[in-house]
């Protein structure tokens, strides 16, 4: 279930780029091009945050107004918050391979073989763990899509830094927030769990749940 393979050959793909379906769906829904790999973010040559921060610091309040500067600042902080806070919860499970999964199950498998737990209990443990990993993977993919897209939107705005480009910036962010929050709420409903949603003014994330 967790093996990446080629649809043409059927062979397992090692160190291959795995496409995030939420990234492509978001771009299709907003009439954006999808030719590039989502990991190929423009400006990500090591200094993209420097350029983005510099853009915010050089936004003229008399041209943009404090409200627009506040939104840009919020988006910059939100992107970093999702990367370094929300995704720190999901990322560890994304690095577990099949060998790691077997190790996670090993102690319970031993208990079952020693008749310390019943077959029913053993299956319940495995199913619960599998559900948790699937849920975490789905949440991680949405958060990854959000941060990569926000960095791209911020970088595009930093290249122009005009009122006209700000309107595009604001519209793209609005669409991203709606799509990202709706995707996470679907996950929340499917797994009856809490998910991190973006505030309307992008000042951070808040935990919400939407059970069945």
Measured CA distances, 100 to 95, 128, 134, 156, 184 (Å): 9, 16, 15, 39, 27
How confident is residue 160, by pLDDT bands cut at 50, 70 and 90? confident
Measured CA distances, 92 to 14, 102, 140, 176 (Å): 19, 16, 10, 25
Of 159, 150, 155, nearest to 46 (Cα)? 155
Domain coordinates in residue numbering, the chain? 21-209
Asked whether 177 and 200 are in contact (CB, 8 A), the reply is yes
User: For residue 100, what are its two tokens?
Assistant: 């790691």
Asked whether 47 and 38 are in contact (CB, 8 A), the reply is no
The contacts of residue 35 (CB under 8 Å, 6+ apart) are none
Query: Per-residue pLDDT for 15 more than 60?
Result: no
- Residue the block writes with tokens 């040559």: 45
- Which of 9-13, 18-22, 51-55, 183-187 has the highest mean predicted lDDT (pLDDT)? 183-187
Q: What are phi and psi of 205, to 5 degrees?
A: -120, 155
DSSP string over 14-44: SSPPPP-HHHHHHHHHTT----S-TT--TT-
- Residue the block writes with tokens 């935990």: 207
Asked whether 79 and 193 are in contact (CB, 8 A), the reply is no
Q: In this predicted model, what pLDDT tens digit does every residue of 107-143 receive, in sequence order?
A: 899 999 999 999 999 999 999 998 998 999 999 999 9
How high is the mean pLDDT of the chain?
82
């Amino acid at each position: 279930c967790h093996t990446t393979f080629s649809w043409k050959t059927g062979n397992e793909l090692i160190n291959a780029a795995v496409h995030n379906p939420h990234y492509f769906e978001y771009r299709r829904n907003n009439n954006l091009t999808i030719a590039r790999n989502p990991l190929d973010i423009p400006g990500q040559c090591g200094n993209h945050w420097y350029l983005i921060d510099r853009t915010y610091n050089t936004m003229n309040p008399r041209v943009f107004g404090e409200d627009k500067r506040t939104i840009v600042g919020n988006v910059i902080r939100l992107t970093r918050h999702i990367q370094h806070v929300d995704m720190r919860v999901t990322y560890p499970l994304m690095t577990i391979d099949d060998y790691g999964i077997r190790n996670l199950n090993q102690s319970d498998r031993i208990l079952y073989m020693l008749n310390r737990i019943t077959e029913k209990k053993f299956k319940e443990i495995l199913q619960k763990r599998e559900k948790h990993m699937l849920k975490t993977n789905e949440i991680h993919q949405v958060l990854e899509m959000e941060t990569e897209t926000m960095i791209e939107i911020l970088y595009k705005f930093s290249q122009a830094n005009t009122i006209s480009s700000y309107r595009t910036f604001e519209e793209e962010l609005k669409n991203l927030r709606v799509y990202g929050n709706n995707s996470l709420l679907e996950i929340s409903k499917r797994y009856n769990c809490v998910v991190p949603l973006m505030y309307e003014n992008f000042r951070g994330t808040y935990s919400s749940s939407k059970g069945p």
